Amino acid sequence: MMTERHAVVSVIGKDQVGIIAKVTNILADNQINILDISQTILQDFFTMMMLVDVAGRDNLDRLQDQFNHLGDALGLKINIQLEEIFQAMHRV
């Protein structure tokens, strides 16, 4: 069995039409399954967090590159980072 490996995709910036579609398209193109998703909008400020399954993928660099490309085009900050960093900081 493949070991579990989860990552968090975070999208932060000004709200606009089609953010979720464009980000999830990149994930679908890379055959990455979304496990959970949450988003809020506070005074036009959009934040979305997605928990995604990256089991078997050693290298997230290509994905991050694609997100950087999209983020630059839309004026958003899009990052993918392994989930453990959040677990470590917020759970005892």
Partner 1 sequence: MNIAHNEMIETIRMIQMENLDIRTVTMGISLYDCADADFDNLNQNIYNKITHYAGELKAVAEAVEREYGIPIINKRISITPIAEILGKATKEQAIEIAKTLDKAALELGVDFIGGYSALVHKGMTKGDETLLDALPEALSVTERVCASVSIGTTRAGINMDAVAKMGMIIKEAAERTKDQNGLACAKLVVFCNPVEDNPFMAGAFHGTGEGEAVINVGVSGPGVVLSALKRHDDANLSDISEIIKKTAFKITRAGELIGRVVAERLNLPFGIVDLSLAPTNAMNDSVAEILEEIGLERVGTHGTIAALALMNDAVKKGGAMASSFVGGLSGAFIPVSEDNGMIRGIMENSLTLPKLEAMTCVCSVGLDMIALTGDVTPATLSGIIADEAAIGMINKKTTAVRVIPVPGKEEGEMVEFGGLLGRAPVMGVNPYSSEKFIKRGGRIAAPLQALIN
CA distance 83 to 51: 8
Helix (H) or strand (E) holding 70: helix 61-74
CA distance 79 to 5: 16
| Smallest gap from residue 70 Cβ to partner 1 (A) | 17
Is residue 82 near partner 1 by the rule CB under 8 A? Answer: yes
The span of 6-14, 15-23, 24-32, 67-75 binding partner 1 (CB under 8 A) equals 6-14
CA distance 58 to 42: 35
Query: Which residue among 51, 53, 70, 74 contacts partner 1 (CB under 8 A)?
Result: 51
| Smallest gap from residue 29 Cβ to partner 1 (A) | 20
Is residue 72 near partner 1 by the rule CB under 8 A? Answer: no
